[in-house]
Chains A and B, each alone.
Chain A
């Protein structure tokens, strides 16, 4: 046996105090995963639940999740947005099965307990018992108080048409949670115009949820993995770029502006798979129609820890919701949207460019696969570690893309909160 390390470490320890070498067990350990749900998804963090445009009318609702907990985002009769947990106060059943709908109230089918759109318990069948031969039989105890048996309500924050929720009612304001630098890019995308919903993609990716965050904090891979980008000259060495984080390094924005040189110039020379002979038929897939709200950048990818990614890739804008369901699996839900003042041509352009993304996207299909195969690697030797040392060992903003600083930043934060 000698110096062979145990493959499944009994008491895993993160050596040193850096964040550039990430132990594989950080992606596979069941107890750590539960702690992540507790500390990132259920306490102290705003989680994405949806867009206001998904529930425009009173009674409109959308079933979604915060972490692994099923919740319902619903517009009440006063026009307010509520997020309630999808667990009946009686016997704990997840009563809502529809993904979207419109209802005047929520009723658990099991015993018909009945709740208002704000989650208040309204009625309990046979609360006062059943009359039989002139006597009343059974019923709830006299002191039963419906006021104490509503659905669990989450704290809600909305900004620019985006809805966040938290089980933690003591949480800081959303704006403080994002910090000024990330808020700037958030407000750039969600600048007050009404959003329109163009459609959804849903996929289950067999990998740890953090890998999705890392994927969008990793500007190293796009020009190497995504041959589709390179083939059509979309990811180029002359892209002006910037990586920024919030003060705690948990959220990030990858900002880039596509260079104006011709596709055949030498800037793509260092990237191996550029194929000059291939040409795309529908140019709307990759040409640029600049929009005033961009203020320059042609792509800004925002990672908000832990639950969501906001995408602007040229004219394609979407939210991507990370919904973990175990150490080695998460659901990834894409909501493609547009703006109310879009022309029909712009809407069509956004839809065409959406073909790059989603489970079978020309680009994003690659990410689902590498995440799956990364997880497979982690699971076969959890004692080992991944390396994120491109650009050094520390965490900080940069004005180039040749660095894994954002991943190191995320794990710096992860170690602090997880006390690992």
Chain B
């Protein structure tokens, strides 16, 4: 698959042990900072229509603010009801203090 790296944020705007929402080519993306690493996933929950950047990050699990479904941000796996469908995650690289996300 073609690479499609998009500059989405400054690295220091990604909070540690928390989540922010950004936009890339009209798509909602959530960026997570955990243990000095940055992770990225789709920003809208696969269950109800809610933004994961309004949710709560606990270790590597993001909890949706609407119905408390959780995803593992490393692989997108749906972890508990009511979410059953995994969420898409994206490769991330840091260059020159900027965060790039590969939308593929």
A-to-B contact residues, CB < 8 Å: 104-105, 107, 112, 114, 116, 122-128, 130-131
- Would B69 and A104 count as touching, CB distance under 8 A? no
Please report the number of residue pairs spanning A and B whose Cβ atoms sit closer than 8 angstroms: 42
- The list of the 9 closest CB pairs from A to B, nearest first, reads A123-B67, A123-B68, A122-B82, A114-B67, A125-B66, A122-B81, A114-B82, A105-B82, A128-B56
Query: A130-B54, A131-B54 given as contacts; is B82 within 8 A of A124 (CB)?
Result: no
Q: Nearest-CB distance from A231 to chain B (Å)?
A: 59
**Residues on the A chain within 8 Å of B54, using CB:** 130-131
Instruction: Pick the contact of B68: A105, A107, A122, A131 (CB < 8 A).
Output: A122
**Residues on the A chain within 8 Å of B65, using CB:** 125-128, 130
Query: A128-B56, A128-B63, A130-B54 given as contacts; is B69 within 8 A of A123 (CB)?
Result: yes
Query: A128-B56, A130-B54 given as contacts; is B66 within 8 A of A123 (CB)?
Result: yes
Report the contact-size class of chain B (Cβ under 8 Å from the partner).
10 to 19
Report the separation of the CA atoms of residues A128 and B58 in the bound assembly, to the nearest whole angstrom. Answer: 13
Determine the residue in chain A with the shortest Cβ distance to B54.
A131
Interface check B48, CB cutoff 8 A: yes
CB under 8 Å from chain A, chain B span 34-56: 48, 50, 54, 56
B-to-A contact residues, CB < 8 Å: 48, 50, 54, 56, 63-69, 81-82, 84
Report the separation of the CA atoms of residues A114 and B69 in the bound assembly, to the nearest whole angstrom. Answer: 11
- Would A122 and B84 count as touching, CB distance under 8 A? no
**Residues on the B chain within 8 Å of A114, using CB:** 48, 67, 82
Known pairs A125-B65, A128-B63, A128-B68 / 16 extra A-B pairs, C-beta < 8 Å: A104-B84, A112-B48, A112-B66, A112-B67, A114-B82, A116-B81, A122-B68, A123-B48, A125-B48, A125-B50, A125-B67, A126-B65, A127-B65, A128-B65, A130-B54, A130-B65
Instruction: Name 21 interchain pairs, CB-CB below 8 A, sorted by A.
Output: A104-B82, A105-B82, A112-B67, A114-B67, A114-B82, A122-B69, A122-B81, A123-B48, A123-B64, A123-B67, A123-B68, A123-B82, A124-B67, A124-B68, A125-B48, A126-B66, A127-B65, A128-B63, A128-B65, A128-B68, A130-B54
- Would A122 and B63 count as touching, CB distance under 8 A? no
**Residues on the A chain within 8 Å of B64, using CB:** 123
**Residues on the B chain within 8 Å of A123, using CB:** 48, 64, 66-69, 82
**Residues on the A chain within 8 Å of B56, using CB:** 128
Report the separation of the CA atoms of residues A131 and B57 in the bound assembly, to the nearest whole angstrom. Answer: 12
Interface centre among B63, B67, B82 (most CB of A within 10 A): B67
**Residues on the B chain within 8 Å of A116, using CB:** 81-82
Report the separation of the CA atoms of residues A131 and B81 in the bound assembly, to the nearest whole angstrom. Answer: 23
Determine the residue in chain A with the shortest Cβ distance to B48.
A112
Q: Nearest-CB distance from B37 to chain A (Å)?
A: 21
Report the separation of the CA atoms of residues A116 and B67 in the bound assembly, to the nearest whole angstrom. Answer: 12
Q: Nearest-CB distance from A110 to chain B (Å)?
A: 14
Q: Nearest-CB distance from B81 to chain A (Å)?
A: 5
Q: Nearest-CB distance from A336 to chain B (Å)?
A: 36
**Residues on the A chain within 8 Å of B69, using CB:** 122-123
Q: Nearest-CB distance from B25 to chain A (Å)?
A: 25
**Residues on the A chain within 8 Å of B67, using CB:** 112, 114, 122-125
**Residues on the B chain within 8 Å of A124, using CB:** 67-68
Q: Nearest-CB distance from B12 to chain A (Å)?
A: 15
Determine the residue in chain B with the shortest Cβ distance to A131.
B54
Determine the residue in chain A with the shortest Cβ distance to B49.
A112
**Residues on the A chain within 8 Å of B66, using CB:** 112, 123, 125-126
